[in-house]
Chains A and B, each alone.
Chain A
């Protein structure tokens, strides 16, 4: 009897040890490439050639200085902040407005208007890329900030509308009705009841829009040509992607491209993971 118990607990210990080993393995796998990148961004290119895997002998900052200036990173970061900021604010406002109307104001059109947004969840960027490029050219918005922002907002809308409508539906209709009886207009109800109560879903929508817009690469690449309008990912691709032998500088440029999202993740980790889980509604 005793033996059985002993072997059982030994086996449990081995299993636990194995589980830890597996978890640690996957964690190392996930972060090693990023650590490798960070370490090498502090090496000169000459040192990298000799020492590809180890920690730097001298930690140099010159790569960062060079990349920052030659890659024109200040303007890229500023552009990314403009695109992401305006897209997120506009998506939030439009999603809340329409979400409120869909959830609380009866109208026969909702079946079609709301329905068309839900179909949008299934549409892919590929199916609109070429026509969008042609249309933006046709209306004369090619190579302009507005010509990037309008598509960005439209693309973020379906998810914002979907999450917003579902959330606002759960707000008691009695609140809206009693305010109506007291003579409040829908606009007043929207500002004073709906917006404050729907704030939590606003965080989710904002997180999804920020991450999606900040990392967007394909559309802005075809909708703009001027360097002054490019976003951070496009700039990183143009600058770092072209450096095939100057590794130190390339790695520093990649780090500059990586740090903003890393900071965002550090500050909003809980909200991001919640948002991703909530956003997994496609289909």
Chain B
């Protein structure tokens, strides 16, 4: 490039460089994420019933008809209830457990912290499909679980469970607790250890240090993990799809499975499926909003 830039030339090169750098990624992103999101809302208000998207049967807007159908369907509430169970297990199971384990390792209470951390995180990296089939076989009537129970209770007989969500919730807890362990450890390590040492020298107990120094320093992270847990729980699909596919009789169905069934099982009902996904997004935004509200209301002042 010659050095004889005029200011206008420089501005023009700057603009050209900006768009050359931004556009490739931006276009891909817009076409596979931003546009489909808007398109999904449009579909949920339409009477599109499959077939050619453009130039086929004309598509009309039908208002909130599909949403009304959805809210009148008992299976929607069943799926929603199961999703809420997953939210509860994630927020009040994975997060406290992950925090507890992280705290023990961070404070150096036990040796081999690295080993414990590596092993407890291991389930998280394995693909959900493998995990799902593994546990499905483990809990199956002919699997290891009934055998294990019989070691302690020889009378045990396998029967159809009254709580088919329990194994699913257990596996969710098993699989993702390690992720919260990792997040908490990384953030605990950011706390200035001199502050903790000073408090200990001044006679603060372990509990007081935790209550007055560590937890307040982590309040932001706690909110972030809660948001991660909520949005992750609402999204959960793979594991349940593989483990139970929503069965028996839809009793382990969740919103994303419910949506998948409407769109891809039997005659496609795309508008209804999109109404479900729109409702899912709204629920997730509301729950995240509530979490942030709770933080500003009761949260620690950092």
Contacts and interface: CB of A to CB of B under 8 A. Distances in A.
Contact of A53 (B3, B35, B144, B174): B144
A53 B147 CA distance: 8
B17 A134 contact: no
Contacts of A59: none
A190 B119 contact: no
A101 B211 CA distance: 43
B116 A273 contact: no
B5 to A, nearest CB: 8
B53 A113 contact: no
A20 B110 contact: yes
B1 interface: yes
B26 A113 contact: yes
Contact of A282 (B179, B231, B237, B281): B231
Given A124-B234, A128-B32, A217-B238, A23 B116 contact: yes
Contact of A98 (B22, B30, B116): B22
A211 interface: yes
Contact of B143 (A52, A109, A131, A232): A52
Contacts of A232: 127
Interface string A168-208: 00000000000000011111001000000000000000000
B82 interface: no
A215 interface: yes
Interface residues of A, number: 96
B250 interface: no
A232 B242 CA distance: 14
Interface of A is mostly: helix
Given A16-B109, A34-B122, A120 B1 contact: no
Q: Secondary structure at chain B's binding surface: helix, strand, loop or mixed?
A: helix
B116 A27 contact: yes
B270 A217 contact: no
Given A97-B21, A183-B1, A186-B13, A128 B36 contact: yes
Contact of A257 (B34, B129, B234, B270): B129
A182 to B, nearest CB: 9
B104 interface: yes
A27 B120 contact: yes
Given A33-B138, A34-B123, A105-B18, A123 B33 contact: yes
A142 interface: no
A102 B29 CA distance: 15
Contacts of A274: 186
Interface in A245-265: 247, 250-251, 254, 257-258, 261-262, 264-265
Interface of B: 1-3, 13-15, 17-18, 20-22, 24-26, 28-37, 39-40, 43, 53-54, 101, 104, 109-110, 115-130, 133-135, 137-138, 142-144, 147-148, 151, 174, 178-179, 182-183, 185-187, 223-225, 227-228, 231, 234-235, 237-238, 241-242, 255-256, 259-260, 263-264, 270, 273-274, 277-278, 280-281, 284-285, 288, 292
11 contacts: A23-B110, A27-B116, A30-B122, A120-B34, A127-B277, A131-B37, A134-B53, A185-B17, A237-B242, A258-B126, A283-B292
Given A98-B24, A264-B125, A283-B224, 9 more contacts: A19-B109, A27-B116, A94-B24, A131-B39, A135-B31, A217-B129, A241-B242, A257-B127, A283-B228
